[in-house]
Amino acid sequence: MKTKIKKNDIRFRVSIDEKNECVFVCVITHPMETGFRKDRKTGKKIPAEWVNKFSVSVDGDEVINMDLSSNLSKNPLLGFDFTDEIKNGQLIQVTWLDSKAEKFSHSTVVNYDDKGRHNYKSFVD
């Protein structure tokens, strides 16, 4: 069975790298439209819609807070190094707001595998 990925789904990974540092990488499924492109079939402009606020919290403490723009590509990939270690059992919450004032949030409790990775997908395989 093939997975249907929808707009505003997210995949992210928290991992411990070879330097024993904590790395966060995510992909948000989002069209990131600037409002300047035209639909090839209708010739009408495609309405602007992009992620403009993005944040990550660990156990309720915000560790990443970014203002984004329409300059990012479709389905943006974002990656960060955490200054503090993320441990098993901590709650990670990823939240974003798009230009249509729609808010999306996903949470997971960290549970590293034997390779030091925690993967999260908001859609079901």
- pLDDT tens digit string along 84-116? 889 999 999 999 999 989 999 999 999 999 999
pLDDT at 4: 63
**What pLDDT, in 10s, does the model give residues 15-68?**
998 888 899 999 999 888 888 989 999 999 999 898 999 999 999 999 999 999
Residue 54, domain member (yes or no)? yes
3-class secondary-structure state, position 5: coil
3-class secondary-structure state, position 113: coil
pLDDT at 125: 45
Domain of residue 93, CATH code: 2.60.40.10
Closest listed residue to residue 105, CA positions, set 115, 95, 113, 97: 95
What CA–CA distance (Å, rounded) separates 90 from 60? 10
What CA–CA distance (Å, rounded) separates 95 from 76? 14
User: pTM of the full predicted structure?
Assistant: 0.86
Residue 4, domain member (yes or no)? no
Please say if the pLDDT value at position 3 is more than 60: no
Residue 26, domain member (yes or no)? yes
What is the tally of helices (H) and strands (E) in the chain? Answer: 0, 8
Q: What is the mean pLDDT of residues 64-88?
A: 91
Domain of residue 27: give its range.
10-35+44-121
Distance of CA 92 to the CA centre of its chain: 12
Residue 1, domain member (yes or no)? no
Contact 91, 85 (CB under 8 A): no
pLDDT at 69: 87
